[in-house]
């Protein structure tokens, strides 16, 4: 029960991947979880399932992180229900594979706004509560795409993820005096079924084959790191980007 009675707000937490795995992992450790997702329906069912399985209080809400109003509304509702937000897990992201020469303003803005601006909106919204209580754990999901040159139409995604890493370092510096930590996790290829809608089969095969570790990565691997960073054991780690890529990239 490393997170007993802590309140965790998670974005993009009702899908099949890292967000839901992390919500469940934090609930298993005793946290009250706020499950948010851009999907208009599935957040409610996931929040109910987590409450039933782990015996913790939950709140499910729709949230498109590109909307400042929705982000602020979710934070307000969480504070009204729980009184505080101790942990923020920023998982919302999107990718649209497009070469730069063909990239429209709309595609660039969709990826940058979801990945980077959404992270800014959520962090800004929760910080007053964290400062008030002199406690906070901010965990932002970046990507190895923020470290390495990515071909195949991922310039906007790589730029956004690199931005998240630097934004995280700045947060760590600004709010360390309030006992607020800020860290990023940079996963390599972590498969879930939704990714088959983004990447062609040959690209998924190539990414799997690029991982030297004897098994492939799973959402739970990232959730385990997030729980550590949110717990007392991770208190003195701040401003870091932890790469979890099975050796496919070593930072």
- Asked if residue 117 lies in contact with residue 39, where contact means CB atoms within 8 angstroms, the answer is no
Out of 121, 157, 175, 249, the active site residue is: 157
226 with 20: CB under 8 angstroms? Answer: no
Sign of the dihedral through C-alpha 217, 220, 226, 227: negative
3-class SS of residue 59: strand
Alpha carbon distance 212, 215 (integer Å): 8
CA distance 102 to 104: 6
Q: Which residue has the tokens 């329906």?
A: 41
Judge whether 157 counts as a catalytic residue. yes
Phi and psi torsions of 58, nearest 5°: -135, 165
Catalytic annotation, residues? 157
């Amino acid at each position: 029960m490393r997170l007993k009675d802590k309140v965790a707000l998670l974005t993009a937490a009702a899908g099949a991947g890292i967000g839901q795995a992390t919500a469940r992992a934090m609930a298993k450790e005793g946290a009250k979880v706020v499950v948010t997702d851009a999907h208009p329906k599935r957040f409610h069912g996931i929040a109910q399932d987590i409450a039933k399985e782990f015996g913790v209080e939950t709140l499910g809400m729709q949230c498109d992180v590109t909307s400042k109003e929705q982000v602020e509304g979710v934070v307000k509702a969480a504070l009204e229900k729980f009184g505080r937000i101790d942990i923020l897990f920023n998982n919302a992201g999107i990718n649209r594979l497009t070469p730069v020469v063909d990239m429209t303003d709309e595609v660039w803005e969709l990826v940058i706004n979801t990945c980077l601006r959404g992270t800014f909106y959520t962090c800004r919204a929760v910080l007053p509560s964290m400062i008030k209580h002199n406690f906070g754990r901010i965990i932002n999901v970046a990507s190895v795409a923020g470290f390495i040159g990515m071909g195949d139409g991922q310039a906007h995604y790589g730029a956004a993820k690199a931005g998240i890493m630097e934004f995280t370092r700045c947060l760590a510096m600004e709010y360390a005096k309030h006992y607020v930590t800020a860290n990023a996790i940079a996963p390599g290829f972590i498969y879930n079924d939704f990714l088959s809608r983004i990447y062609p089969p040959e690209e998924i095969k190539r990414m799997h084959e690029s991982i030297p570790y004897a098994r492939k990565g799973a959402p739970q691997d990232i959730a385990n790191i997030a729980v550590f960073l949110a717990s007392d054991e991770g208190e003195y780690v701040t401003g870091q980007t932890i790469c979890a890529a099975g050796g496919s990239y070593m930072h």
